[in-house]
Amino acid sequence: MSHHTQRFVNLVNDAKANIKETDIDTIRRRMDAQENFMLIDVREESEYAAGHIPGAVHMGRGVIERDIEKHIEDTSTELVLYCGGGYRSALAAESLQKMGYTNVISMDGGFRGWREAGLPIIHDE
């Protein structure tokens, strides 16, 4: 957290108090079991193209609130969001809940943790 400002960290912590979070191991196990949920990468397009979790769809943090209803009309669909480390996904999860999505989860650790765990990554190069 040292490279983030205190105000940003406070904002994220406030969001985390209002959302559900999960961890990388849980998502990996759920994917292996072929459980049904939508995995959404909320990082920037260039980050997604450089590498993302298999099966993830891209809806960047800057546009997810604008675009979510075009892709996911059913507000009860289970959505698992991830970003680089879990901050942007927490903010996005809180926003989607405010929009009426009732089954939103942020993956703590994000893509960085997934990569560090040596789990599969897709590259769009």
Judged by DSSP in three states, 10 sits in helix
Contact 42, 56 (CB under 8 A): no
Cα–chain center distance at 41: 5
Cα–chain center distance at 8: 18
Contact 39, 56 (CB under 8 A): yes
Neighbouring-strand partners of residue 20: 105
83 is catalytic: yes
Q: Which of 27, 83, 96, 107 is catalytic?
A: 83
Catalytic residues: 83
